[in-house]
Structure 1
Amino acid sequence: MEIVKTELEGVYVVKNPVFSDSRGIFTKIYNEELFNRFGICTDFKESYYTNSKKNVIRGMHFQKPPYDQNKLVYVPKGKITDVILDLRQSSRTYKKFITIEVSDSNSHSIYIPKGLAHGFRSLMDDTIVVYQVSTVYNLENDSGIRWDSCGIEWGILNPIISVRDKSFSKLDDFNTLW
């Protein structure tokens, strides 16, 4: 397992080891000792997954304090363009974003700390994205930034987007909570 820093402070790409034999593959996606060395959260409270059609965009999501979350994101099936947007006003990368391809073929995970919005575009039908999060979901603190207001080039003309995701505030209208 290798942990690689990104240009956003506290965001890491985790290159997971994959072992294969005649039965298939085995992939390790979590190692508490290694995560602790990098200051990555190891106290996850909830886990869930999405199954998305090709050209679905989900995001840009986050939980407001005190329910803000550290996230570990993994794709066991399919492929996504993962997008992370920095909402931390004190950060040198405030309002900047990065995109990372995550797929079942590269077996990477993405670690996203509190104060960042997260979204993705599904590049294949039946793409499964698994999330480990450090707080339990709280409906009243669920929020987001409008997917098309951050300068992200999603690479698609007619994405499939939920009514909820279309209703979020634009980045320029958002007053940061961090």
Structure 2
Amino acid sequence: MQIVDTKISGLKILKPKIFEDERGKFIKTFNNNFFKEHNLNIEIKETYFSISHKDVIRGMHFQTPPFEHVKIVYVPYGKIIDVVLDIRKNSSTFGKYFSIELSSKNGKVLIIPKGLAHGFKSLEDNTNVTYMQTSCYTPNSDSGIKFDSFGFDWDCKTPKLSDRDKLFLSLKDFETPFVFGENQ
């Protein structure tokens, strides 16, 4: 695997080796020894996946302290535009976002640190997004930022959103509990 840092501190892209032959592809998305060797001490507590139709937007999600988490995200089937927003006070990139295409074709994996909101737009029907997290889902800590409140162009005329995601506060109205450098 190759690790690529992004402009947002702690947000990393993993580019795994893709093994391909006449049977198809094989991609290793997580290796505990590799992670430890590169100071990515991530203890997975919960994994899950979503399946989305084209133009579904999910986000921008996170869990608040003390149940915040590091999240590992990849796409075993389909294609998305993945978006990550820095919501950490005192961060030089507070309010800035990063976006990348994740797909079953490119095999890229994102490591999203605590204090970043996460969302995506599905670019194909039946896209599978898989998540691995360092904490379990806690309903009272589950939160988000309104997807269209921080300047990212989703390039979507008729997005499909959950009722919950439509009700999130805008970035400017959200009082963040995250502070850059604390519990990262």
- TM-score, normalised via structure 1 length: 0.97
Partner of 1:131: helix, strand, or coil? strand
Whether 1:154 aligns to 2:154 is: yes
Q: Which residue of 2 aligns with 1:19?
A: 19
Q: Which residue of 1 aligns with 2:139?
A: 139
How far 1:47 sits from its partner (Å)? 0.1
One-letter amino acid of the structure 2 residue matched with residue 147 of structure 1:
F
Matched-pair contact (CA < 8 Å) for 1:4–1:12: yes
CA distances 1:8-64 after superposition (whole Å, capped 9, x unpaired): 000001001111122221111112233224432420000000000000000000001
Q: Distance in 2 between matches of 1:157 and 1:57?
A: 12
1:1-178 equivalence runs, <5 A: 1-178=1-178
Where structure 1 has 5 or more consecutive residues not aligned to the other structure, the ranges are none
Matched-pair contact (CA < 8 Å) for 2:72–2:131: yes
One-letter amino acid of the structure 1 residue matched with residue 21 of structure 2:
D
Matched-pair contact (CA < 8 Å) for 1:41–1:70: no
Aligned residues: 178
Q: Distance in 2 between matches of 1:73 and 1:47?
A: 10
Per the alignment, do residues 51 and 145 of structure 1 end up closer, same or farther by CA in structure 2, a change over 3 Å counting?
A: same
CA RMSD of aligned residues (A): 0.9
Q: Distance in 2 between matches of 1:118 and 1:37?
A: 26
How far 1:142 sits from its partner (Å)? 0.3
Q: Distance in 1 between matches of 2:119 and 2:73?
A: 11
One-letter amino acid of the structure 1 residue matched with residue 115 of structure 2:
G
Matched-pair contact (CA < 8 Å) for 2:42–2:70: no
Q: Distance in 2 between matches of 1:37 and 1:92?
A: 27
Q: Distance in 1 between matches of 2:166 and 2:61?
A: 12
One-letter amino acid of the structure 1 residue matched with residue 58 of structure 2:
R
Matched-pair contact (CA < 8 Å) for 1:53–1:127: yes
Partner of 1:114: helix, strand, or coil? coil
One-letter amino acid of the structure 1 residue matched with residue 55 of structure 2:
N
Amino-acid identity (%): 47
- TM-score, normalised via structure 2 length: 0.94
Matched-pair contact (CA < 8 Å) for 1:40–1:111: no
Q: Distance in 2 between matches of 1:43 and 1:33?
A: 12
